[in-house]
Structure 1
Amino acid sequence: MAALLQQFRSLPSWYGPVALLAAAYGLVPLVGSNYLFEAILLPFLALSLAALGLNLLTGYAGQVSLGSAAFMAVGAFAAYNLNLRVDGLPFLGSIVLAGLVAAAIGILFGLPSLRLRGFYLAVSTLAAQFFVQWALTKFSWFSNDSPSGVINAPRLQIAGLALDGPVARYLFALTVVAVLTVLAWRLVQSQTGRNFIAVRDNETAARVIGVPVLRTKLLAFAVSSFIIAVAGVLWAFAYLRTVEPAGFNLDRSFQILFIIIIGGLGSIRGAFLGAALIVVFPLLLSRLGSALLGGLFDSGVLDMSQRIVLGALIILFLILEPDGLAALGQRLRRRLSPTLA
């Protein structure tokens, strides 16, 4: 047993993610139920990607944003309209172009970061949330003149292969999330990532050592918006299978912000840990509440009770572990192997 534990301790740090990814591709599609894919894994993947994008902006670059759901909406509606109005454009091309559209809008709303910081910057990014929702509701062209504003997302189709079932949509979302996560990891390990951290820690010191602060901030907004927009495409096309402004409201922005706070700011792993807690824990509370109190209270009271319990537990967790789940996992890993960093 001791020898086995020693071998486990000596494994490189990337073995864990690779093993999880292999299980996600090879094992989960074989044993997972439709409920697992539709209610847990698809929203988990979309929210994880959105949290990853926000963490690059807030956790690494130190720029607070409350408009994440707006950029998810931009990505979803841009992909829908590109797919609808540009003949012959592959769906993957629609996703990339939608991300670029969101990146351009992200730069526009990131311009106040050149003058504002902290709470004031958060309020300015909140304007993006209200402006995007207003525009999508006001101008029916974005929703193809749908009377309700709710439109069915087109079929996911890659190279002529239709991705209709939950397993196919899950594998598509998993691939997109895996590719963007690797690219984000490479980014934070590069000089650009070090520039992000320098700006976050001290703008004045970063400027003194030659970091292009203004360009770094705008790049952080652009990259973050691109990733969040792709998450919006996954949320609308793979999970909800509808494109509607109500799916990207202010609550969604706060949900993504809570994910990175709970998971851990400045941690790629934290985006996934926080999303797992936010997605799974309410489902567990719902099942437990229905089993214990379903006969005493109606669904509205149960839903409000779940929100109160979840909020209280989040506050308690942040008091006990303010650095998030990623720091907690790192601490446990160090206890198992004191020689690991």
Structure 2
Amino acid sequence: MINGNLKATYAADEKIVDNRYKFSFVWGLAVLAAWLPIFANDYVILVACQVGIMVVAVVGLNVLTGYTGLMSLGHAAFVAIGAYGVTLLHHAATALSIPEGIQPFFTIPGAMALAAVIGLIVGLPSLRVKGVYLAVATLSANFIIIFLIELDALAPWTGGKTGLTTVDPSIFGWVLDTQREVFILIAVMAFATVLLVQNLFRTRVGRAFIAIRERDYSAEILGISLLRYKLTSFAISAACCGLAGALMAYFYARVLPEQFELLLSLQLVAALIVGGMGRTMGPVFGVLVIVLSPELLKVILSAIAGDSIEAAQFRAPLQEIIFGLLIIGFIMFEPLGMTQISDRVFRALNRWPFARG
């Protein structure tokens, strides 16, 4: 019975995409992303941009929760820091007379660094608590950061409850002032983030994260510093969410505090559970399900009941019910998520037409 892939060299063993079906799937996604801005309509571009931004954020959460085993319900705060940070840094760069064409090369890393620093601070409780207690601590941090953004004393910088008007990024003179142009940036960043994080777990740092997830006391006995690597995991995770926030600021004309409240954190967690924690493609599959399910539901209900006010009122709570059912269903019947289902499909394809077991 065929039960694996023959790997005769170290190079073959190090490949991320280790069979032709996975290779075709990954390149199919890349071709689809390249095709969308040319031929897709505005609605498809809007949904695709939302998917790309969410993928970057869920990849960040996957670093912390999926690979390091630290639960967080406050990652929306890091997305907010990235969104507000990149906007404020653009204004600062303009005041310093930095050319617009190179400003994103300073503002995006700056927003990610700011989110990483806040992530280090938020991650300090992880040294003493874990599990649900750590989740509550990060949730409290989310509330604190949103409160600070809405604070009247900081309103001259954050805009308070009315939010901030964002800027259109310019890359070497190419102003990204349409959704299609911003989608190209989002798609490139999403692919790069997934690839870089996947390769992170081939390094000593990534393996230390996994050791902490499996048994932190044993990892410490083996010489892994819990202080260093837990805080590093928080910083990397927050930086990825900061990048998602920066992309969100470029995509939307205005950022508002309510965009980054508890609902966003729950959506990130739901996407990770549905997709599969601790797996490379888990965030991708999870985001596709979480983002596309409400859109599919909207299309179905519109076809059945039309675009009436009653249908819209019925659709809103139904979307929340679907989120809950998805999470419960995957926890009960497939706790490893969509990635495990795809693995079974790829294994079956790889064995075909031989062993079927």
| TM-score, length basis structure 1 | 0.90
CA contact (8 A) 2:276 2:338 kept: yes
Deviation at 1:143, TM superposition (A): 5.7
Partners in 1 of 2:193 and 2:160 — Cα distance? 35
Aligned pair 1:31/2:31, yes or no?
Answer: no
Identify which range, 265-274 or 309-318, moves more after superposition: 309-318
CA contact (8 A) 2:186 2:247 kept: yes
Cα deviation, 1:234-293, whole Å, max 9, x if unaligned, reads 12222x221211111110000001000000000120101000011111011112123323
CA contact (8 A) 2:150 2:159 kept: no
CA contact (8 A) 1:58 1:265 kept: yes
Partners in 1 of 2:19 and 2:196 — Cα distance? 26
Q: Which amino acid is the alignment partner of residue 22 of structure 1?
A: V
Residue of structure 1 in register with 2:290 after alignment: 278
Cα deviation, 1:67-122, whole Å, max 9, x if unaligned, reads 11100000111111111123217123101011001100100010110000101111
Partners in 1 of 2:21 and 2:220 — Cα distance? 36
Q: 1:169 to 1:319 in 2, by over 3 A?
A: same
Residue of structure 1 in register with 2:299 after alignment: 287
Aligned pair 1:261/2:273, yes or no?
Answer: yes
CA contact (8 A) 1:59 1:265 kept: yes
Residue of structure 1 in register with 2:66 after alignment: 59
Q: Which amino acid is the alignment partner of residue 203 of structure 1?
A: D
Deviation at 1:144, TM superposition (A): 3.7
Residue of structure 2 in register with 1:71 after alignment: 78
Q: 1:48 aligns with which of 28, 38, 55?
A: 55
Deviation at 1:175, TM superposition (A): 1.2
Partners in 1 of 2:158 and 2:238 — Cα distance? 26
Q: Which amino acid is the alignment partner of residue 282 of structure 2?
A: G
Residue of structure 1 in register with 2:20 after alignment: 11
Q: 1:151 to 1:140 in 2, by over 3 A?
A: farther
Residue of structure 2 in register with 1:20 after alignment: 29
Report how many aligned residue pairs link the two structures.
330
CA contact (8 A) 1:262 1:274 kept: yes
CA contact (8 A) 2:82 2:114 kept: yes
Deviation at 1:331, TM superposition (A): 1.1
Deviation at 1:192, TM superposition (A): 1.0
The secondary structure found in structure 2 opposite 1:62 is: coil
Residue of structure 1 in register with 2:347 after alignment: 334
Q: What 5-or-longer segments of structure 2 have no aligned partner?
A: 1-17
Identify which range, 293-302 or 70-79, moves more after superposition: 293-302
Partners in 2 of 1:338 and 1:208 — Cα distance? 42
Identify which range, 173-182 or 10-19, moves more after superposition: 10-19
RMSD (Å), alpha carbons = 2.2
Partners in 1 of 2:143 and 2:175 — Cα distance? 35
Aligned pair 1:305/2:303, yes or no?
Answer: no
Partners in 2 of 1:147 and 1:117 — Cα distance? 33
The secondary structure found in structure 2 opposite 1:337 is: helix
Q: 1:246 to 1:185 in 2, by over 3 A?
A: same
CA contact (8 A) 2:148 2:154 kept: no
The secondary structure found in structure 2 opposite 1:189 is: coil
Q: Which amino acid is the alignment partner of residue 32 of structure 1?
A: A
